[in-house]
Amino acid sequence: MDQLELLKSKWQQQEQTHPTLSYKDIYKMLLKKSSSIVKWIFMISIAEILFWIVISFLTPESNKDLIQNIGLKESLSIISIFHYVILAVFLVLFYLNYKKIKVTDTAKELMANILKTRKTVKYFVIYNVLGTILAFLYVNMYFYTKKTELYTLLTNGNKNYAAIPAESFTSIFFITQLVVGAVFIGLLVLVYRIIYGILLKRLKNNYDELERIEL
């Protein structure tokens, strides 16, 4: 194995092409990690907002008709405008967090920014979950106050609904709504826990490391 021995004989003479490291470099490496996590939080929140916009375009026509006919259209429009404004605010906050973490240069500031980012994400998740629950309750309570109209509207256009006897319709409809709603919210919480949970945990680890450097 002459070539391997040849390589071995020259191995220690590989030229050093990289500069030496200092405390500042190590610190910067930790910093870079945090800023890339915060960047991910920002990107994921954009992706999430786009996802909901696409979903709202995919709502079937029959659902839109129902909402229009039963008189929910105006209030739902107001709610969704309000919702998009809040989403935009969060988007700006995430972006500001990202920007700030990128330019921070002391460990203390970075730690403060990491805590702030974690807080923003927490509020974002709480807002989304609570908002979904409230919107769901609102729509169903509204349906409940108009249950006779709801029955006529639904049975007119759809044979499947018409097959359900009128007296048990109300209970079947609302129990189904409740089950579907609970499953949906459960899934939402699960997805948030997975995506943001992982990112927040990593941020927390960085925070702990910074604490070790700082104290």
Nearer to another protein, 159 or 212 (CB): 212
Using CA atoms, how far residue 46 sits from 42, 51, 84, 87, 90, in Å, is 6, 9, 12, 9, 10
Q: Which of these segments, 23-31, 55-63, 74-82, 87-95, binds another protein (CB under 8 A)? A: 23-31
Q: Which of these segments, 8-16, 62-70, 102-110, 126-134, binds another protein (CB under 8 A)? A: 8-16
Q: What is the DSSP track for 65-110?
A: HHHHHHT-HHHHHHHHHHHHHHHHHHHHHHHHHHHHHHH--SHHHH
Among 32, 119, 201, 204, binds another protein (CB under 8 A): 32
Using CA atoms, how far residue 179 sits from 56, 115, 182, in Å, is 21, 36, 5
**Judged by CB under 8 A, does residue 215 bind another protein?**
yes
**Judged by CB under 8 A, does residue 159 bind another protein?**
no
Q: Which of these segments, 26-34, 55-63, 72-80, 135-143, binds another protein (CB under 8 A)? A: 26-34
Residues in the chain: 215
Binding site for another protein (CB under 8 A): 1, 3-4, 6-8, 10-18, 20-23, 26, 29-30, 32-33, 209, 212-213, 215
